[in-house]
Amino acid sequence: MIKFTAIATRTARLAHRQTIPRISSNKRLASTMGSTYNTAAPNIPGAPIPIFVVGQREEIAQFVIEAVKPEYEVVQMILGKAAKEELPIYLRGEIPATKSSQLGSNNWAVPPRAILIGGAFNDAEVAELRQTVVDAGATRKIPWLHVDHNKPRPVIVGNEAQYGDSIAQRFKDALNRLRDEGRLDADGDDSDVLV
């Protein structure tokens, strides 16, 4: 009986080792990667559509997160200063070991279907961020929604709630349009959408 238990335990350990995904020998990737998520999972009928939010201030992001509910679920908020590092990792289907923000549901059952980029980013910065994602070899292609600086918007300072609600409504209107056109159903559409 002892021999059988020892063999079964050793076999179980070997089987477990074989199911552990290998991490690239690239030290930078290995140090930033926490885990992966299934980028091919389909949307769940009736469930909120998962999205990313990229912004400079968590206070504003909190208003956006609440305002896009119940149709959309912010899986992860990414702080602006870390977007160039974190967004390529997420768009490779990986989750960084450390995150710039703890805001978001962290529900990775279905991959995020869009990226919302706040008003702190101008068009040139969004283009630079997109190029960083391409250069990093990110494979996910999802719509990038960002603020149109030619449209009027409320002043932020001392007015976070009104600003957050106003921007969130613009994002939600654009997301609804993309959803109705079927552009949030799967990867493949990485178009820029001004809101």
Q: Look at residue 33 in the predicted model and tell me its pLDDT.
A: 57
CA Rg value for the chain: 20
Range list of β-strands (E), the chain: 33-36, 49-55, 72-79, 94-96, 115-117, 144-146, 192-194
Q: Indicate whether 99 belongs to any domain.
A: yes
Q: Look at residue 7 in the predicted model and tell me its pLDDT.
A: 40
In the predicted structure, residue 145 carries a pLDDT above the cut 50:
yes
Q: Indicate whether 7 belongs to any domain.
A: no
Q: Indicate whether 63 belongs to any domain.
A: yes
Q: What range defines the domain where residue 162 resides?
A: 35-194
Residues pairing with 79 in the sheet: 55
| Model confidence pLDDT, tens digit, residues 97-118 | 999 999 999 999 889 999 999 9
| Token representation of residue 131 | 């190029």
Quote the mean pLDDT of the chain.
82
Q: In 3-state terms, what secondary structure has residue 190?
A: coil
Distance between CA atoms of residues 121 and 53, nearest Å: 12
Looking up residue 73, the CATH number of its domain turns out to be: 3.40.50
Look at the chain and report how many structural domains it folds into: 1
| Token representation of residue 50 | 């998962």
Q: In 3-state terms, what secondary structure has residue 94?
A: strand
Q: Indicate whether 111 belongs to any domain.
A: yes
Q: Indicate whether 64 belongs to any domain.
A: yes
In the predicted structure, residue 159 carries a pLDDT above the cut 80:
no
| Model confidence pLDDT, tens digit, residues 5-46 | 344 443 343 333 333 333 333 333 333 456 888 887 888 888
| Model confidence pLDDT, tens digit, residues 30-88 | 334 568 888 878 888 889 999 999 999 999 999 999 999 999 999 999 999 899 999 99
